[in-house]
Amino acid sequence: ERQKRSIEAARCYGAAVEMKPGFTAAHENLGHLLLTLGDLAPAHRHLAAAHRLDPGNPVTLNNLGLLLRKEGQPDEAVRMFRQALAINPNIQVFHVNLVEAFLSTGRTNDAATAFEAALRRHPDWAGIPQIAGLAERIGRTGAAGNTNRP
């Protein structure tokens, strides 16, 4: 049912893009939907269009990072996540995605550094289950000040 709704939403965003090719939000939303549906080539096309139309949109940068990671370009994904964070460092998922990108390539120290920077900026995130899961994956346990890494 959810996939059916996503496909219908993608059709609607596609129609919006056809009617108004400069409609940034339609490209962004269509690209994100196609990404979640696993249709990477058209997702890339629409997210790239959204980025050309609004290069400072951190959500687009984050979604491009997710796409690039799926396409096997983790270094480019890291670059996109860092750009998104430079624009808006208060979005938790941007930090999570950066740490995940580092972990996916075995860059545990970089992941730990990014994780620690996020917690310094947002210490209240320490108790969030997704953040706690990342802490375990990078070898960090306990309170925000404790690290267990070489």
| pTM reported for the whole predicted model | 0.86
pLDDT tens for each residue of 83-128: 999 999 999 999 999 999 999 999 999 999 999 999 999 999 888 8
**Cα(119)–Cα(108) distance, integer angstroms:** 16
The set of long-range contacts for 112-115, using a CB threshold of 8 Å and a minimum separation of 24, is 112/138, 112/139, 112/140, 112/147, 112/149, 115/140
Spatial CB neighbours of 44, under 8 Å, sequence gap ≥ 6: 31, 67, 71
Average pLDDT over residues 32-48: 95
Judge residue 78's burial from the number of C-beta atoms within 10 Å of its C-beta, 0-12 exposed, 13-18 middle, 19 or more buried.
buried
Q: How would residue 4 be classed by pLDDT, with cut points 50, 70 and 90?
A: confident
